[in-house]
Amino acid sequence: MVIALALSLWCLHPVPAAWALVAAYGLGWLGMNALVALRPELAELSLSRPQAIALFALLLVPPVTVLVRHGSELLTEESLVGFGENVRDHLRLERTPAIAPPVVVTDEPQTFYVYAPDARQVEVRLGPTAKMRAAVELGAGLFRLDYDPQKDGEPQAGEGATQAILRVDGKSVERTLTVVRPRAHPRWLRPSPDRKLACTVSEETDALLVVSSDGDALRTHVGDGPTDCAFVTSGEVAVVHQFDDSLWLVDAKSGSVLQKSRVGDFAARLAVSPSGRRLAIALDGVRRGVVSVAVPSLRVEAFSPLEVSPDWIAFGADDDTLVVSSRRPAELLRLRGKDGRYRIGGAPLVLGYPAVTVARVPGGKQLLVATTDYRPEGGPNPGNHFIQDQILTVDVDAFRVVRQWLTARRSARQSHPGDVDEGVSPMGLDAEADGSLAIAFAGTDEVWQVRAGEPTPRVYPLDELPLASPHGIVRFADGNLLVSSPPDGTLGVLGPGGQLRTLVRLAPDDDTLLRSDPDALERRMGEHDFYESTRSGVSCQSCHLHAGSDGALHDLGEHRLSPTSTVRGVAGTAPYLRDASYPRVRDLDELSRTLYRGFLRAAPGRAETLEAYVDGLPRLPSPLRPADRDLARERAGVRAFVKARCATCHAFPAFTNLGQHPLASIFPDRADAHAPDRAGARAPDDVIDTPSLLSVRWAAPYLNDGRAPTLRSVIEAWNPTNHHGDTAHLTARERDDLLYFLESL
Amino acid sequence: MDEESGSPSAQAAPPSGRDRRRRLAAGIVLALSATALGLVGLFVRSQGGSWRPTEALWLARGTGWTALGSLMLALSATPTGRLLARFRPRSDLSSWVVAFRRAFGIAAAILALLHAATVLGLYLRGAWAAVLSFSYLRAGLVALAILIAMLVTSFPPLVRRLHVKLWKPLHRLGYLAALLVLDHLLLSPFAPRALTFELFGALFAVGLFRLLPARPSISTGAPSRE
């Protein structure tokens, strides 16, 4: 009777929360007590069983109906949405020996961590067809496993779940991991000097592709993780890599490797000098800077170190002027030098938000820079979730922006006035000497041709073609366009009118994948979703550049600034976002449907495909190769990590306990975060998630509102109360060791 | 905490037995509270004890887990009593079950209060509004409110003064409190999930004995409302 009365009371003002239900029960109980106190005979009231059941049912039907109607709100309020996933992730990490991360990709070297308390020896086989490898003991029960699929064998023939064997002090246990086999992803295209050929690389399949205007494609296997290529002459292509420390020179006609030269690994891009006598290679590993290589000898001329991570690189008008873009800080640096030794010449050109792509205008006096916003004064845009895709023209000599061209167009094609359906995410740029420009838009699946003298661009939609999320574009000498699609693994030759002439497939088509590998098809669709624009002109890609981070702060509403997190390696770390506001990746689809007014195209199951794509992404690799690691410092770093009690929350082996904390418990000095500070900016909510520290080197800026620019500042300047780890009791040496260990993760 | 006897004041045992049980109950409450605090103190000292967040965490953990243990023992008392009654049908088991249940229930409420005070004072450091932002803290707070209500109505003189006639529907919320504690643990940052499942699995298994019929021999003679 009390239950029925309580639910009826709750129905009067149905607050979907457990406390409200309990409070209603309390009120009901008090009411019943009062009733019995006033009318004691009620306590003696006896009903027959059918009467009692009928009365009970009558009283319960309306409140139960209301309760069911508010069920989903109740689950959300009580954080029970995604509860199963969260508990599963916790149990996976608690069950020692535990291994993290849970995803194994077959295309690149990865580092795994195993937590086996009190173990002396750990060996791991990541799947039935992989070799058993010894893990390196780091202390405190933590072991590191360096895995290279090329040397150690792929985990299994197909994709999906695999059973990894962890042999701990001779005793074997099985742990489930997910194997992901990435398909070919051709990205940016480079034309030959005569524009009769174009080249691109597929990092996932270690392939170089040289394509002609007729669609003839030459595929050559190159080193591990090719990141960029460029024609040195009309017949020779230079290729640089992430995991192979050599520059390869390949014959564009035969595909034979002509020459190799060691330049260093973690090469980001390369550029050919105007004279053709020099290559400049941007390195983003332990050594950050630019390597100059003489052509044709491929002799390394010099290494010019940089304080920032170089991303795009382009020569100016001569061999002695080089422009390098950096994601964080988001700026362009102009380097000047002689004989391949470059130094920063002058102040950087502040962009505010990083260059998505950079193209050199023939002659080198100007560069074209695509970006998601331009803030020359620096600092985040105060607009709520503000993104404004645009192409900037930079005068290299004056080193300033001379033209700002907003590309995201509005038209009446969408259902609501003001919706955006064109010009989102300019990803590929190809500028020609006559002033014409070809642009590939990954957000709106289209290609623009801007011709000199024509006021409006010619728009070629790619919606109906297997060229989703186009990245690279090149205009051949005969007027045909070559477009690349990383998700579809295709290259398409378009005629001058935009019609598809030839399609080069580097990966199986959708139908084949549906039959042979539905998981890969789901990921492909999710990748397309990731790049696709919403009606507000924002895509996931807008901030999470290529599933990484733009390194910028964004206003997430009510002046709450939050740094963009990478979405790589997040599988098994639910819940998501800095404030843990989304229990599953798929739940973020709600954000696109509401705040961003939905995607351009209807796609059933989009939430699930997006989740499949994100969950299949490996974390960013450690910049330290196994041979380069200083094991003694690493072990000292683990000791410092444990001594400072970092492992209390950043627990082994995932370096997170998946927990959420009140801001005041970790950063009492920031507990007044709701008070406006810097220029009216506010920190996010007082709920902070414990992020994984795997790949933390690449995750700057740090902490919940991005206030710490470096890892050192996290443990020193921004831990004044010593609650974010007991770092105050570490010696200077221990801090250095801790930082070394963190950067190696 | 006195569900089966029909009334908190309804004790059929002779005075000497009742005194014994009261002393036992008080002893359990004191012993559990002292053990919880002592263990926490020892652990903090063994860990160095100089870092305040660690002290706060261990105080919170120590009081929290002991409170949970007490609550589980209180909830297990009746089912265990029913099981034992099948083997010793003529014993005065019921009154002992009631004594144990009340003692552990009171200990659970007091330790939960200590746990909440530790969390609010040392972990949240006065930022009490944060409780509203975390569903696991809200669940814990609601469970605490239930335990306090049960604590207050566990003392017969107080029940009489408050003119509480229907105490049983309130004490049945003990099961809801346990569910809320489960929610509290499974969403909290530090609680080991596997241990939580094992403990609640065991509680559920023991709770199944409640389905056994109550033997007349363990009835205290007070009117039963079940």
pLDDT digits 0-9 by tens, B185-202: 999 888 899 999 999 999
Q: Are A671 and B125 within 8 A, CB to CB?
A: yes
Paired with A437 in beta bridges are: A431, A450
* A92-113 per-position pLDDT tens digit: 999 999 999 999 999 999 999 9
- pLDDT at site A558: 65
- pLDDT at site B3: 45
| Matching residue, tokens 């366009």 | A481
Please state, rounded to an integer, the average pLDDT across all residues of chain B.
Answer: 77
Q: How confident is the model at residue A614 (pLDDT cuts 50, 70, 90)?
A: very high
Q: Are B189 and A690 within 8 A, CB to CB?
A: yes
Is a pLDDT exceeding 70 seen at residue B166? yes
Q: Check: CB of residue A235 under 8 Å from CB of residue A252.
A: yes
Interface residue B124 vs chain A (CB under 8 A): yes
- pLDDT at site A40: 75
Q: Are A664 and B127 within 8 A, CB to CB?
A: yes
Q: Are A665 and B127 within 8 A, CB to CB?
A: yes
- pLDDT at site B50: 54
Strand residues in A278-425 grouped as ranges (E): 278-284, 288-294, 300-305, 310-315, 321-326, 331-338, 341-344, 349-350, 355-360, 366-371, 390-395, 400-406, 409-410, 420-422
A472 against A559, higher pLDDT: A472
Cα distance from A709 to chain B (closest Cα, Å)?
25
| Matching residue, tokens 């017949």 | A235
Rounded to an integer, the average pLDDT of A594-622 is 89
Rounded to an integer, the average pLDDT of B132-154 is 90
- pLDDT at site B2: 43
Interface residue B190 vs chain A (CB under 8 A): yes
Interface residue A34 vs chain B (CB under 8 A): no
Q: Name all domains of chain A by residue range, CATH numbers in brackets.
A: 2-77 (no CATH), 91-180 (2.60.40.10), 386-564 (2.40.10.500)
* A664-720 per-position pLDDT tens digit: 888 888 766 444 444 444 344 578 899 999 999 988 899 988 889 999 999 999 998
- CB contacts of A91 in chain B (<8 Å) are 193-194
Cα distance from B149 to chain A (closest Cα, Å)?
9
- pLDDT at site A93: 93
- pLDDT at site B53: 64
Percent of chain A residues topping a pLDDT of 90: 63
HSE, side-chain direction, 13 A CA sphere, residue A102: 23
Q: Check: CB of residue A484 under 8 Å from CB of residue A471.
A: yes
Is a pLDDT exceeding 60 seen at residue A138? yes
- CB contacts of A723 in chain B (<8 Å) are 52-53
Please state, rounded to an integer, the average pLDDT across all residues of chain A.
Answer: 89
Of A657, A664, A685, the CB nearest to B124: A664
Of A36, A90, A662, the CB nearest to B166: A36
Of B133, B165, B192, the CB nearest to A37: B165
Q: Which of A446, A655, A621, A412 is nearest to A531 (CA)?
A: A446
Q: Check: CB of residue B170 under 8 Å from CB of residue B139.
A: no
B99 against A339, higher pLDDT: A339
Of A77, A95, A657, the CB nearest to B194: A95
- pLDDT at site B44: 61
Q: Quickly count: other Cβ atoms within 10 Å of residue A400's Cβ.
A: 11
Interface residue B75 vs chain A (CB under 8 A): no
Q: Are B164 and A17 within 8 A, CB to CB?
A: no
Rounded to an integer, the average pLDDT of A643-660 is 93
Q: Are B52 and A723 within 8 A, CB to CB?
A: yes
Q: How confident is the model at residue B47 (pLDDT cuts 50, 70, 90)?
A: low
- pLDDT at site A38: 80
- pLDDT at site B21: 66
Taking CA–CA distances from A44, the nearest residue in chain B reads B225
- CB contacts of B173 in chain A (<8 Å) are 22, 25
Of B125, B169, B183, the CB nearest to A664: B125
* A652-676 per-position pLDDT tens digit: 999 999 998 888 888 888 766 444 4
Is a pLDDT exceeding 50 seen at residue A292? yes
Taking CA–CA distances from B159, the nearest residue in chain A reads A33
Interface residue B161 vs chain A (CB under 8 A): no
- Number of A/B CB contacts below 8 angstroms equals 113
Of A36, A87, A94, the CB nearest to B165: A36
Is a pLDDT exceeding 50 seen at residue B221? no
Structure tokens given for A238: 């230079």
- pLDDT at site A378: 81
- CB contacts of A88 in chain B (<8 Å) are none
Q: What is the DSSP letter of B217?
A: G
Q: Give the C-alpha separation, B84 to B209, whole Å.
A: 10
- pLDDT at site A617: 95
- CB contacts of A86 in chain B (<8 Å) are 187
**Is the predicted ipTM greater than 0.85, yes or no?**
no
* A483-495 per-position pLDDT tens digit: 999 999 999 999 9
Q: Quickly count: other Cβ atoms within 10 Å of residue B19's Cβ.
A: 11
Among A54-63, A226-235, A337-346, A606-615, the range scoring the smallest mean pLDDT is A54-63
Rounded to an integer, the average pLDDT of A16-23 is 87
- Phi, psi for A516 (deg, rounded to 5): -100, -30
Q: Are A687 and B133 within 8 A, CB to CB?
A: yes
Q: Give the C-alpha separation, A200 to A229, whole Å.
A: 6
Structure tokens given for A53: 């059941």
Q: Are B189 and A649 within 8 A, CB to CB?
A: yes
Q: Are A648 and B54 within 8 A, CB to CB?
A: yes
- pLDDT at site B91: 65
Cα distance from B88 to chain A (closest Cα, Å)?
34
Q: How confident is the model at residue A649 (pLDDT cuts 50, 70, 90)?
A: very high
Q: Could you check whether the bond before residue A653 is cis, i.e. omega within 30 degrees of 0? A: yes
C-alpha pair distances (Å), A291 with each of A240, A281, A340 = 11, 5, 8
Contacts for A717 with CB less than 8 Å, ≥ 6 apart: A708
- CB contacts of B180 in chain A (<8 Å) are 18
Interface residue A662 vs chain B (CB under 8 A): yes
* A562-592 per-position pLDDT tens digit: 888 899 999 999 888 888 888 888 888 888 8
* A268-278 per-position pLDDT tens digit: 999 999 999 99
Interface residue B138 vs chain A (CB under 8 A): yes
Q: Are B124 and A665 within 8 A, CB to CB?
A: yes
Q: Give the C-alpha separation, A548 to A356, whole Å.
A: 12
- CB contacts of A650 in chain B (<8 Å) are none
Q: Check: CB of residue A396 under 8 Å from CB of residue A321.
A: yes
- CB contacts of A83 in chain B (<8 Å) are 186-187
Is a pLDDT exceeding 90 seen at residue B57? no
- pLDDT at site A415: 55
- pLDDT at site B7: 44
Of A43, A649, A662, the CB nearest to B127: A662
- CB contacts of A29 in chain B (<8 Å) are 166, 169-170
- pLDDT at site A430: 96
Interface residue A657 vs chain B (CB under 8 A): yes
Is a pLDDT exceeding 80 seen at residue B42? no
* A187-219 per-position pLDDT tens digit: 999 999 999 999 999 999 999 999 999 999 999
Q: Which of A643, A736, A731, A637 is nearest to A693 (CA)?
A: A637
Percent of chain A residues topping a pLDDT of 70: 96
Rounded to an integer, the average pLDDT of A24-53 is 80
- pLDDT at site A646: 93
Q: Give the C-alpha separation, B16 to B22, whole Å.
A: 10
Q: Cα-atom radius of gyration of chain A, to the nearest Å?
A: 29
- pLDDT at site B12: 43
* A495-512 per-position pLDDT tens digit: 988 999 999 999 999 999
- pLDDT at site B219: 42
Q: Are A18 and B138 within 8 A, CB to CB?
A: yes
